[in-house]
A and B are shown apart, each in its own frame.
Chain A
Amino acid sequence: MTRTVVRAGGLTKRYGTFTAVDAVDFTLEENRIYGLLGRNGAGKTTVMQMLTGQIFPDGGTLDVFGREPAEHADVLRRICFIAESQRYPDSFKPSHVFTAAPWFFEHWDAEFAERLVHDFRLPLNRYVKKLSRGQLSAVGVIVGLASRAPLTFFDEPYLGLDAVARHIFYDRLLEDYAEHPRTIVLSTHLIDEVANLLEHLLVIDQGRILLDRDADEVRGSATTVAGGRAAVESFVADRAVIGRESLGGLASVTIDERLGQADRIRAAELGLELAPVSLQQLIVHMTGTDLRADPTEQEVAA
């Protein structure tokens, strides 16, 4: 019943000898909220630029609304992507952006945009290049929300936004999404801020997809086990360990596993504490391998 909006197979982008996106496969289904998560330089923006036809892939296949996106007006008109580093003409003020928007987005809701401008306290008559980082993010967020494009990308929407503005974005997005369902891709490295919005996660690191799973499945899929070092080590001995910290005789180990009743009882008997792992912590564990590699090895050697 749900349609596939995006289908990428072996999608690759190289810049000289550097492979920014390395043969990734994924699909995006209609009317879901996706999180495209990863560290800076992981390849998030490159993926979105290919999906929106702004850059051309070097390999693989890409299907957006049934065909390659680049240079196909019928595909592009259903997409909205205001990049975090979006450039605006020097002469532009936010008012010009919102004047031009309805010519490009057929579902544009001017009233909604006006309300958002008010909510975000965005100065309409200041040159875009004079806006603060947060105000610049607000311009992108307002275009993204009010365009109601069937496939909408938010690239680092929280950058520079204050707590109130972040909350407004969160509320308005959920409200509007409920009334006008569409496919939304949120790209960010501030994971905890958006964690509750997301229905599906795509974690990307060094140009590869590390995780492509339902957010509900991922939440609570990992557990941190803490306690005396010996007890912890015996408990996690034959489990998939994704993170390990220790301080003196205490250890805290994160395992990629949802524990059953029997395991929980056993952990309690060993005097271990079990804690769920937040999405952010989980992704830090998954994508922070370079940082962790050395201490782990030393620990093993000791």
Chain B
Amino acid sequence: MTAVIEQQTMNRTEPRTRFNEVWRVVRLHAVTPSVFFGIPWIILGGAWAVSMIVGIIITGASADVAEMGEGMRYSWAVLSPQWYLVAVGVQAIGMTLSFALGFGATRRDFWLGTSLMFGIVSLLNAVAIATLVQLEKATGGWWIGISMFDALWYGQNGWLVDFYTTLALQLLVLFIGASITTVYLRWRMRGMMILIFGAIALMLAAVALATFTESWPTIVEWLGGIGIVGMFTVVLGLAAFFAIGGYFVIRRATPR
């Protein structure tokens, strides 16, 4: 009997390292790739198809192509998957945490693995979107003069800036969804209420402060001064804040 037991404990099938325990959470998120990759790209692909059709209709109606491209710069089609990615962040915690705990992952490893997954997804999306912006410019708006990716702040400061801003934005939407869900899992509805009303109160206080001290012009000037890259560095900072906050909240969270 003892021999059997000893043999069994020796019989490790794979070495267990810290990284392995984090990496398996990444694999767990990626086991159904439709969630992180499939659906966001279907949404983006759909938005692209709609933009193309609109472009073909407008060109078909022999309207001014240059004016059309300029008008499309204000379409938010390029950001269409972002709203869905907030929900992905929520689901990654709300549903997968419970499952991962059932499989014996720790909350710490789960959060680190989820963060790593968010990082990988954001990196890939940032590379893809920044590249698509360049492709759209190179092909003259997919040969019909539309401006879907080359829109809003994109396409003006080169590939690297487009990459950096997308990366920051992706991280922010994912970590907002995830970290707010950790608050729910730890403190339930009461925690959510305090969080929501606390955030609203804080914002109102900030607005009041800025108004009474008459510092709005200074703030606008500062935002203008830091430029696109500076603003998205603020976004990245916020993403980091949510990521670190989520880590501390999830350590005592109890999913049902």
Chain A's closest residue to B100 (CB) is A104
Q: Are B109 and A181 in contact (CB under 8 A)?
A: no
B1 CB–A CB distance under 8 Å: yes
Q: Mark A220-258, 1 if CB is under 8 A from B, else 0.
A: 000000000000000000000000000000000000000
Q: How far is the CB of B245 from the nearest CB of chain A, in Å?
A: 18
Q: A87-B255, A106-B16 are in contact. List 17 more A-B contacts (CB 8 A).
A: A53-B101, A54-B101, A54-B255, A71-B251, A76-B104, A79-B104, A80-B103, A86-B98, A86-B99, A86-B102, A89-B91, A100-B28, A103-B24, A104-B104, A108-B13, A149-B104, A150-B9
Chain B residue numbers with a CB within 8 Å of A105 are: 103-104
A to B CB contacts below 8 Å, 21 in the list: A53-B101, A53-B106, A54-B255, A55-B254, A73-B106, A80-B103, A86-B102, A87-B95, A87-B99, A87-B255, A87-B256, A89-B35, A90-B91, A91-B32, A96-B32, A100-B103, A104-B105, A106-B14, A180-B8, A181-B4, A181-B8
Q: Are A71 and B106 in contact (CB under 8 A)?
A: yes
A284 CB–B CB distance under 8 Å: no
A92 CB–B CB distance under 8 Å: yes
Give the CA-CA distance A92 to B31 in the complex, in Å.
Answer: 9
Q: Are A91 and B35 in contact (CB under 8 A)?
A: yes
Top 8 A-B pairs, shortest CB-CB distance: A103-B24, A91-B32, A76-B104, A104-B103, A87-B98, A89-B95, A71-B106, A55-B254
Q: Are B106 and A76 in contact (CB under 8 A)?
A: yes
Q: Are B106 and A81 in contact (CB under 8 A)?
A: no
Give the CA-CA distance A92 to B105 in the complex, in Å.
Answer: 18
B34 CB–A CB distance under 8 Å: yes
Q: How far is the CB of B14 from the nearest CB of chain A, in Å?
A: 6
Chain B's closest residue to A149 (CB) is B104
Residues of A within 8 Å of B, CB-based: how many?
A: 42
Report B1-30 residues with CB < 8 Å from chain A CB: 1-2, 4-5, 8-9, 11-14, 16, 21, 24, 27-28
Q: Are B102 and A81 in contact (CB under 8 A)?
A: yes
Chain B residue numbers with a CB within 8 Å of A83 are: 102
Partner of B27, one of A88, A92, A103, A181: A103
Chain B residue numbers with a CB within 8 Å of A80 are: 103-104
Give the CA-CA distance A232 to B101 in the complex, in Å.
Answer: 54
Q: How far is the CB of B106 from the nearest CB of chain A, in Å?
A: 5
Q: Are A89 and B27 in contact (CB under 8 A)?
A: no
Q: How far is the CB of A259 from the nearest CB of chain B, in Å?
A: 35
Q: Are B102 and A82 in contact (CB under 8 A)?
A: yes
Report A89-113 residues with CB < 8 Å from chain B CB: 89-92, 96, 99-108
Chain A residue numbers with a CB within 8 Å of B106 are: 53, 71-73, 76
Chain B's closest residue to A85 (CB) is B256
Partner of A56, one of B27, B28, B32, B254: B254
Chain B residue numbers with a CB within 8 Å of A52 are: 101, 104
A77 CB–B CB distance under 8 Å: yes
Give the CA-CA distance A9 to B9 in the complex, in Å.
Answer: 27
Q: How far is the CB of A124 from the nearest CB of chain B, in Å?
A: 13
Q: Are A101 and B103 in contact (CB under 8 A)?
A: yes
Q: How far is the CB of A148 from the nearest CB of chain B, in Å?
A: 8
Q: How far is the CB of B254 from the nearest CB of chain A, in Å?
A: 5
Chain B's closest residue to A109 (CB) is B13
Q: How far is the CB of A102 from the nearest CB of chain B, in Å?
A: 8
Partner of A99, one of B16, B31, B104: B31
Chain B residue numbers with a CB within 8 Å of A104 are: 24, 103-105
Q: How far is the CB of A17 from the nearest CB of chain B, in Å?
A: 16
For the residues of A in contact with B, the DSSP-based class is: loop
Chain A residue numbers with a CB within 8 Å of B27 are: 100, 103
A1 CB–B CB distance under 8 Å: yes
B96 CB–A CB distance under 8 Å: yes
Chain A residue numbers with a CB within 8 Å of B254 are: 54-56
Give the CA-CA distance A251 to B56 in the complex, in Å.
Answer: 91
Partner of B13, one of A31, A72, A73, A106: A106
Q: Are A31 and B5 in contact (CB under 8 A)?
A: yes
Chain B's closest residue to A106 (CB) is B13
Give the CA-CA distance A100 to B27 in the complex, in Å.
Answer: 8
Give the CA-CA distance A82 to B14 in the complex, in Å.
Answer: 22
Q: How far is the CB of B58 from the nearest CB of chain A, in Å?
A: 38
With A73-B21, A81-B102, A181-B5 given, is the CB distance from A91 to B34 under 8 Å? yes
Give the CA-CA distance A100 to B103 in the complex, in Å.
Answer: 9
Q: Mark B30-57, 1 if CB is under 8 A from A, else 0.
A: 0110110000000000000000000000
Give the CA-CA distance A258 to B105 in the complex, in Å.
Answer: 46
Q: Mark B92-124, 1 if CB is under 8 A from A, else 0.
A: 000110110111111111000000000000000
Give the CA-CA distance A78 to B4 in the complex, in Å.
Answer: 17
Q: Are B4 and A88 in contact (CB under 8 A)?
A: no
Chain A's closest residue to B21 (CB) is A73
Chain B's closest residue to A1 (CB) is B2
Chain B residue numbers with a CB within 8 Å of A88 are: 95, 99
Give the CA-CA distance A96 to B32 in the complex, in Å.
Answer: 7
Give the CA-CA distance A39 to B205 in the complex, in Å.
Answer: 53
Q: How far is the CB of A55 from the nearest CB of chain B, in Å?
A: 5
Q: Are A90 and B95 in contact (CB under 8 A)?
A: yes
Chain A's closest residue to B24 (CB) is A103
